[in-house]
Structure 1
């Protein structure tokens, strides 16, 4: 079991024991506890406790900084719209893979649809698109595909 898995398990167990599905922790305390850099904590937050997984993460940096994880339940449409609104103007391939994986795992997208979208957004499919503009094209493709899934 890797460090990310250990951190995620610890946070999940703590969240399960918390009142009301809300957990507040210090980033520095977590990093110290698991003997890792704070960016490792950030990685776990962004990959394991994302809205696609049913969580909202609020963060405050600085001396008294904290991370607040709230478990939420979103319906499929709300989740897809949240992803559409959070994609931004560019989307690299690794992020597209993570988003589609999270959406299929959560059941918001059918596995075959997720795999098809990933194939369409891959560098091989976008080979005719200049490398410097692929992330922009990929972002628009993701947004349009997810909006289409809403209909």
Structure 2
């Protein structure tokens, strides 16, 4: 049996399949009542499963006439890659969920399984080597440890940005 977040996610995805536009509008209270859950459960689903990285933009208005509008970003255009690049450039490296972004790129057919594995393994090796280095340095102070981790995060971010740029330009050549 699926948990409530999975059920609500599937319900919202089904609404998109039935919608004639690229957006749907929900009332928190109606969805909460339909699934006999609290409105915060819906908020959790939206914040974790309908993010820009997943290809959605959220618009929300609270109060009596409040609503949640979820708009699906058209993933077939280069605009999505541009959007990802711009978004990633603006956030701190430690806040980026690299694996989630790679999975979306694979699922939306921007990259194939091979490209996914190469990039995923590259990022994993970078992390592993960084943590192995930290373990070798027994007498390292906390500030130096933070600097090394920050460097790893920055390198991971730069790798992802370069990867996205390569995807963008390879799509333009086709």
Query: TM-score category by the smaller chain?
Result: 0.7 to 0.9
Secondary structure of the corresponding residue to residue 126 of structure 1: helix
Instruction: Give the TM-score taking structure 2 as reference length.
Output: 0.65
8 Å contact from structure 1 (residues 84, 142) kept in 2: no
Kindly indicate which of the two structures has a greater share of residues assigned to helix: 2
8 Å contact from structure 2 (residues 123, 156) kept in 1: no
> Which position in structure 2 is the counterpart of 1:99?
101
Structure 2 unmatched runs, 5+: 135-143, 167-174
> Which position in structure 2 is the counterpart of 1:134?
149
> Which position in structure 1 is the counterpart of 2:121?
116
Deviations 1:22-79 (A, max 9, x none): 2100123223322334343233223432334433222223343221112231346432
Q: Which has the larger radius of gyration?
A: 2
Deviations 1:114-146 (A, max 9, x none): 422441464x343237258736752x3343223
| 1:7, distance to aligned residue in structure 2 (A) | 0.5
Instruction: Give the TM-score taking structure 1 as reference length.
Output: 0.73
User: CA, structure 1 residues 63+121, in 2 after alignment: closer, same or farther (shift >3 Å)?
Assistant: farther
> Which position in structure 2 is the counterpart of 1:148?
162
Secondary structure of the corresponding residue to residue 68 of structure 1: strand
Structure 1 unmatched runs, 5+: none
Aligned length: 148
8 Å contact from structure 2 (residues 130, 149) kept in 1: yes
In the aligned structure 2, how far is the partner of 1:91 from the partner of 1:11? 30
User: CA, structure 1 residues 72+130, in 2 after alignment: closer, same or farther (shift >3 Å)?
Assistant: same
In the aligned structure 2, how far is the partner of 1:114 from the partner of 1:107? 15
